């Protein structure tokens, strides 16, 4: 049985450990730059905008987590939940923790009047894709995710300063 609850600051080490485990699973073992202090600040700082939910066994052992934040639908005119990460420790998979976490987020969305819960999944991750489809979720086939990061982000952002300055003086 899974018990779902909001994360507390005491959960930060377990969440960060699972983030590292997820990065290994997703074949990006060196990609995590997050630290306990950074994670604690975004989850529990003065103005948190990122949230985490914990799945525990009935004995109180952390079995998984969902990390999420709000997005906004201009068409619906209301918020939604964007699920950044969902992870269940390998030895607890198949026990209902992932489903319970997603049900918790769905119930949160309904309770708050949000329009949707959405997330991304790697195309090769067939076990997760099948799991999500069995819950009634569907892929957004006509949409592709785009990202600016690293040098490209820095260069493009730097161009904005030059463009704004030129417009202000021109």
Residues belonging to the active site: 132
Contact assessment for residue 2 and residue 63, using Cβ atoms and an 8 Å cutoff:
yes
* H or E, element range at 111: helix 97-112
What is the distance between the alpha carbons of residues 106 and 99, in angstroms, rounded to a whole number?
Answer: 10
138 sits in the region (left: phi over 0; alpha: psi -120 to 50; else beta) called beta
Q: Is beta strand 78-88 parallel, antiparallel or unpaired with respect to 62-73?
A: antiparallel
Q: Is beta strand 78-88 parallel, antiparallel or unpaired with respect to 117-119?
A: parallel
Q: What does the angle CA 58 – CA 63 – CA 65 come to, to the nearest 5 degrees? A: 120
């Amino acid at each position: 049985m899974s018990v779902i609850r909001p994360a507390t600051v005491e959960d930060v080490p377990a969440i960060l450990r699972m983030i590292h485990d997820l990065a290994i699973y997703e074949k990006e073992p060196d990609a995590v730059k997050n630290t306990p202090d950074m994670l604690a600040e975004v989850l529990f700082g003065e103005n948190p905008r990122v949230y985490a939910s914990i799945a525990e066994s009935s004995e109180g052992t952390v079995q998984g987590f969902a990390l999420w934040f709000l997005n906004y639908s201009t068409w619906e005119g209301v918020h939604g939940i964007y699920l950044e990460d969902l992870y269940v420790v390998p030895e607890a998979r198949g026990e209902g923790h992932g489903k319970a976490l997603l049900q918790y987020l769905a119930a949160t969305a309904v309770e708050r009047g949000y329009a949707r819960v959405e997330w991304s999944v790697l195309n090769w991750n067939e076990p997760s894709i099948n799991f999500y489809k069995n819950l009634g979720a569907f892929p957004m086939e006509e949409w592709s995710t785009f990202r600016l990061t690293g040098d490209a982000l820095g260069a493009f952002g730097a161009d904005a300063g030059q463009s704004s300055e030129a417009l202000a003086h021109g």
